[in-house]
Amino acid sequence: MAARQAGARSSKVELADIVRVHGAAFCTKHRLCAVQHRALRAIERCRTAALGGELRQCDACGKQRYVYHSCRNRHCPKCQTRAKERWLAAQRSELLPVPYFHLVFTLPHELNALAQGNPREIYTLLFAAASDTLIEFGRNPRWLGGEIAATLVLHTWGQTLTQHLHVHCLVAAGALSQAGTWMRSRRGFLFPVKALSMVFRAKFLARLSTVFARGVLKLSGATAPLSEPPAQRMLLAALRAKPWVVYAKRPFAGPEQVLQYLGRYTHRVAISNERLLALDAERVRFRYKDYSSGSRQRTLQLDALEFLRRFALHVLPRGFNRIRHYGLLANRNKRALLERARAALDAPAPALQTPLSESACAFWQRIAGIDLERCPHCGRGRLRLFRVLAPLTHPPP
């Protein structure tokens, strides 16, 4: 640990390293909620003796290897691959054999401070306004005239870990009418984005006005001026006067492209270990894409405590679901509606190809071609369980 703090590290850096070195100072300086504390502690302890594990021994050469448990926290960059693949395996049975559109609904940055004090409320309003907008346009006979199938994924970050509140929406190119026919969208077009933007803005601000009137928001610190109704009306007027952004990408060609997209977005955390470049006693350096310069790769250096402050902004409220389904995919009637949609499309239901109870060894063999049981020392023997390791209350550094 001392060597790690003595100077900059150009070798592989992980988020867990930053939390171990600077986490205590960060928690002392900043007031964190319980879920933020839990996330940082889980990331710090992930795959260490603190969580326990197994000691395995090669049956050929006798070499031993420690294998520690993962934290499984959804904010940990090391624990998302298996969760993502299991989720994707379940989603394969819900995809329809049609093109899919990718839309992004973004909140203005003027709402960032309000979201910091009230993340659950603001994120819920974002989901509600975006989904209602899509459903309303889908039911409009001018566009589709039926029930759409949509999956929405919340992201709260930009490439430099600043707040950028938006939802990615995956929408099937068509809708199921009440008569049971599939209403196809026009080629290369789903809904007009300017109209979507205006309706989205109106729906979100109407809900925000209602929440203000109910007095359920925490209005302290940076949002203290909003505790008075005149200030709230001024904010709503300012937000109503500016254009809001809904972005539409070109449609995906089919289900496989959809799954590739979902794999990139659904279980992503604010920053991956691959983007981290260096860590020293004061600073963290990492890569980011500069979208204002054609997605050019750039490097940013931040004070370590500021880096952790930005990361903590994106820890979700406890139990908050950041992936939600609407229309045909809503849980209450999903199976029946999907059967009707497939019947209208004359398409059979896809088979579940990957078992949800797949072991860790089988998973990594399938995904990355890695045999976890093969001895990395001799390459011939198999690693067998030698001893179960209990979690250590005070593990060595």
For residues 366 and 333, membership in a common domain is answered with: no
How long, in residues, is the chain? 397
Q: Could you tell me if 153 and 103 are in contact, meaning their C-beta atoms sit under 8 angstroms apart?
A: no
**How remote is the C-alpha of 302 from its chain's centroid?**
23
- SS3 letters for 305-350? HHHHHHHHCCCCCCCCCCEEEEECCCHHHHHHHHHHHHHHHCCCCC
The pTM of the whole model exceeds 0.75: yes
Note whether residue 291 is domain-resident.
no
Q: What is the pLDDT of residue 284?
A: 98
Distance separating alpha carbons of residues 283 and 263, to the nearest angstrom: 31
What is the structure's pLDDT at 351?
66
Both 91 and 151 in one domain: the answer is yes
Do 233 and 87 fall within a single domain?
Answer: yes
How many angstroms separate the CA atoms of 309 and 329, rounded? Answer: 36
3-state secondary structure of 216: coil
Q: Which residues of the chain have pLDDT under 50?
A: 1-10
Residues in contact with 215: Cβ distance below 8 Å, sequence separation at least 6, in sequence order:
none
Find residue 167's DSSP bridge partners: 105, 154
* 178-202 residue pLDDT tens: 999 999 998 888 999 999 999 999 9
What burial class does residue 142 get, using C-beta atoms within 10 Å of its C-beta: 0-12 exposed, 13-18 middle, 19+ buried? exposed
167 and 265 inside one domain: yes
**Is the domain of 56 the same as that of 129?**
no
Residue 355 confidence (pLDDT): 55
Q: Residue 341 sits in which domain range?
A: 82-270+315-345
Q: What is the pLDDT of residue 136?
A: 98
Report how far residue 193's alpha carbon sits from residue 396's, in angstroms, rounded to the nearest whole number: 55
Asked whether residue 304 is domain-assigned, the answer is: no
CA distance 377 to 381: 9
Same domain, 247 and 230: yes
Same domain, 151 and 25: no
Residue 298 covered by a domain: no
pLDDT tens, residue by residue, 336-372: 999 999 999 998 877 655 555 666 777 766 666 778 7
Lookup: tokens for 301: 């250096």
Number of separate domains in the chain? 2
Token pair 């964190």 is at which residue? 32
